[in-house]
């Protein structure tokens, strides 16, 4: 019963379960009612999204140095007690139920969801 890491708005995977939107902002132009039916997310959970300041800094720069800086800042943000507890909770839930976490970015290699995948794995999550 793994946790899936997905691109929000993409078709749902078989057995994916509840989809959590770990994004700072909900999708523009999509009503609250249409978020689930449009494969965006069932529950918006911005707590696991990068801060607005971290996102802004990353978007103003490019290249491997910017990504490295972004990854360091995001990991530091996720190292707070509240976020560590959330990651531990999701890791524990992954052993009992299927669900997904995700973001909008097309390229997962330069998206916080790739880092979130690592953090969940390190917390003991079963990954799909």
Q: Is residue 115 part of a domain?
A: yes
The predicted pLDDT at position 58 comes to 84
Average pLDDT estimate for 50-58: 90
Query: pLDDT class for 18, splitting at 50, 70, 90?
Result: very high
Please write the tens of the pLDDT for every residue from 71-119. Answer: 999 999 999 999 999 999 999 999 999 999 999 999 999 999 999 999 9
Query: Whole domain around residue 110: which residue ranges?
Result: 3-122
Q: How far apart (Å, rounded) are the C-alpha atoms in residues 86 and 67? A: 24
Task: Provide the 3-class DSSP secondary structure of residue 40.
Answer: coil
If one counts the domains in the chain, the total is: 1
Q: Is 128 domain-assigned?
A: no
| C-alpha to C-alpha distance for 39 and 90, rounded to whole angstroms | 20
Is 37 within a domain? Answer: yes
* Domain-located, residue 85: yes
Q: What is the mean pLDDT of residues 60-69?
A: 84
Could you give the C-alpha distances from 72 to 30, 41, 67, 68, 78, in angstroms and in order?
32, 27, 9, 6, 10
Asked whether the beta carbons of 42 and 36 are under 8 A apart, the reply is yes
């Amino acid at each position: 019963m793994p946790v899936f890491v997905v691109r929000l708005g993409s078709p749902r995977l078989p057995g994916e379960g509840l989809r959590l939107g770990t994004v700072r902002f909900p999708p523009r132009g999509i009503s609250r009612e249409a978020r689930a039916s449009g494969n965006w997310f069932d529950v918006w959970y911005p707590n696991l999204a990068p801060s607005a300041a971290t996102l802004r800094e990353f978007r103003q720069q490019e290249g491997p140095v910017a990504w490295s800086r972004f990854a360091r800042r995001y990991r530091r943000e996720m190292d707070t007690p509240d976020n560590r507890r959330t990651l531990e909770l999701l890791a524990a839930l992954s052993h009992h139920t299927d669900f997904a976490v995700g973001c909008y970015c097309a390229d997962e290699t330069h998206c916080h969801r790739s880092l979130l995948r690592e953090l969940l794995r390190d917390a003991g999550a079963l990954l799909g």
